Structure 1
């Protein structure tokens, strides 16, 4: 299983409105992934004082095609969507967007993504995950690049076997070995790219390690 963020800007000007990006999960195996729960978390810090977290200035939403509405990510930007019955070599997408309010100071941010999955033989684990660094520019600033943020491997989990236990809980309120539940909705782009659906009643489950990894990546 691989997961990634696509189209997250490398620089974002405070007060410049919404910026679209996407989460993609891909089944790289020859087995059906019975269940996949998508996780995204964002954090930002003041450039002058890295101890001063400025995440309160960031709003992140994802598009739920069932309700046709943009929905907020969970309070701590953890598990937000789920797909089932993802076939061999197939992928599933979720559309996201973020904005940074005009009062945000210059600084830097990190987006962390991963996914918790189980297959039909009840093997479960995490996608390797990655974090993406981006710069926050003060309102009215001019961009120096239009490139997307680049992925950096999230550490020890990159080489972990699917059954390796990591220091992060599985999604709460979602059975880790949930069976496939039928045909998935299409994003409209391709029948091989089903949309990740909302996680009803799931609670935040990205642990301290995810945050620590993202912060260590920013401070390097």
Structure 2
């Protein structure tokens, strides 16, 4: 028998649906959901994906190491381009020395011509003139050689610089590729680990979790209007109305809000916190985990959990809802929870507003049609009737219902929080 508890809450804004709230009940039946937008990958598929991601990451690391090695080689004094640059530098220096010597030879030849005495013979004059001509020709050739050597030196320097820049760029690209591959690998590993954890939870022995309407969660003291920029305190009372002690009871809460149009999600401006006798410090409701367990909760007893709702001053006027529920686990393996997820609707008034005296928020619970759904050990569920079935959402959810004028848009774009937990853990 698999322990599987599904109390899904639709809490994210859609973009086109009308003013709707979603109430949810557990539903277990044979067969696969009739409408699903995407089939959940198997563990073997996730293992293959993780292996492929690991291989891609290993290849990226190897490529990055190779890029580093190539750059280090270019920075070495023994790199061919560096050797060529050094040779070109030496050749340019030698050419410069030769040019300087040739220029001096011209100066000396000119001085020899100027120094000829008036008594010099024609042969002496001719010899001096020839020497000057030869020196000038040699100087011109040395100048051309120096120009060529200088050009080769510059070209060799440019070639080395270009190669080093390209190698540095290759290192940067390799680093980016490694980072991306690591992100893919991490995501694949996390997906595989999560799937294995869920499979382990679903494979645990024990009795099935069942709906328990006598375990109730009631909100008191939450105003029906809350002004942006303020905080309000209220209570969540968890009551065990059964005739037996529940070994571990876990309260659950979720807050969702939109602007007046119902089209803009403002969840990041609305904050829900809780504290209890076992946890005095205010803790933020993260919309994924239970609050601390109440252990035990005797038959007929109740416990109050302090709640605090804070709305940022920048929040626009709009609408909100706080969903609450509760589940239980017993040491004998039995488990269950609220068959319905209640939502307490409230209005959000703009910062600085004076709403005056307001009533407490009232619960709005939709009772879904669950006829024909019977608990069993399978992990899938048959579709329920109603508009939600056509959206492709899990068949563990109920029909959509109008939300008493609260401008919350929940439907086709809804996100479903699957509340699951191993017996005895607090994750």
What is the TM-score normalised by the length of structure 1? 0.69
Would you say the 8 A contact 1:116–1:170 is kept in 2?
no
Contact residue 31 and residue 119 of structure 1 kept, 8 A: no
Alignment partner, residue 241 of structure 2: 28
1:87 aligns with 2:295: no
Secondary structure of 1:81's match?
Answer: coil
Measured against aligned partners, the alpha-carbon deviations of 1:7-61 in whole angstroms (never above 9, x if no partner) come to 1110001012x200111111111111122111100000010x3120011111211
Aligned length: 175
- 4+ residue segments displaced more than 6 Å: none
Which secondary structure state, in structure 2, belongs to the residue aligned with residue 53 of structure 1? coil
Name the structure 2 match of 1:171. Answer: 420
Cα displacement (A) at 1:121 = 5.0
Structure 1 residue 64, shift from structure 2 partner: 4.5
Aligned equivalent of 2:320: 109
Structure with the bigger percentage of helix? 2
Q: 1:170 to 1:50 in 2, by over 3 A?
A: closer
What secondary structure is seen at the aligned counterpart in 2 of 1:83? coil
Checking the alignment, whether the CA contact within 8 Å between 1:11 and 1:136 is kept in structure 2 is yes
Larger proportion of strand? 1
- Over 3 Å counting, the alpha-carbon distance change for 1:157 and 1:69 in structure 2 is farther
SS at match of 1:142: coil
CA deviation map 1:134-158 (0-9, x unaligned): 0000011111542110011143399
3-state DSSP of counterpart to 2:314: coil
The secondary structure found in structure 2 opposite 1:79 is coil
Mapping of residues 36-185 of structure 1, within 5 Å: 36-47=249-260, 49-66=261-278, 68-74=280-286, 76=287, 78-119=289-330, 122-127=333-338, 128-156=340-368, 166=396, 169-172=418-421, 174-175=422-423, 178=424
The change in CA–CA distance for 1:129 and 1:4 in structure 2 (over 3 A counts) is farther
- What TM-score do you get using the length of structure 2 for normalisation? 0.37
C-alpha separation between the residues in 2 aligned to 1:79 and 1:11?
26
CA contact (8 A) 1:116 1:171 kept: no
Correspondence for 1:14:
228
Larger Cα-atom Rg = 2
What is the CA–CA distance in structure 2 between the aligned matches of 1:13 and 1:158, rounded to whole Å? Answer: 38
Matched with 1:187 is: none
Is contact 1:60-1:72 (8 Å) kept? yes
Check conservation: 2:279, 2:292, Cα contact below 8 A.
Answer: no
Q: Sort the Cα spacing of 1:155 and 1:145 in 2 relative to 1 into closer, same or farther, 3 A.
A: farther
Task: Determine which structure has greater relative contact order: mean sequence separation of CA pairs < 8 Å that are 6+ residues apart, divided by chain length.
Answer: 2
Name structure 2 gaps, 5 residues minimum: 1-214, 382-395, 398-416
Shift of 1:112: 0.5
SS of the residue corresponding to residue 68 of structure 1 reads strand
Alpha-carbon deviations, 1:188-214, whole Å to 9, x = none? xxxxxxxxxxx85x2xxxxxxxxxxxx
- Asked if the contact 1:133–1:149 (Cα under 8 Å) also holds between the matched residues in 2, the reply is yes
In structure 2, relative to structure 1, the CA distance for the partners of 1:86 and 1:31 (3 Å cut) is: same
Task: Give, in angstroms, the shift of residue 70 of structure 1.
Answer: 1.0
* Backbone CA RMSD of aligned residues: 2.9
Per-residue CA deviations over 1:91-125 (Å, capped at 9, x if unaligned) read 12210101111111010001101111134654322
Task: Note the residue ranges of structure 1 that are not aligned, 5 or more in a row.
Answer: 179-198, 203-220
- Distance change >3 Å, CA 154–CA 25, structure 1 → 2: farther
The 1:115–1:41 alpha-carbon spacing in structure 2 relative to 1, beyond 3 Å, is: same
Does the aligned pair in 2 maintain the 1:37–1:171 contact within 8 Å?
A: no
**2: CA distance, partners of 1:157 / 1:2:** 20
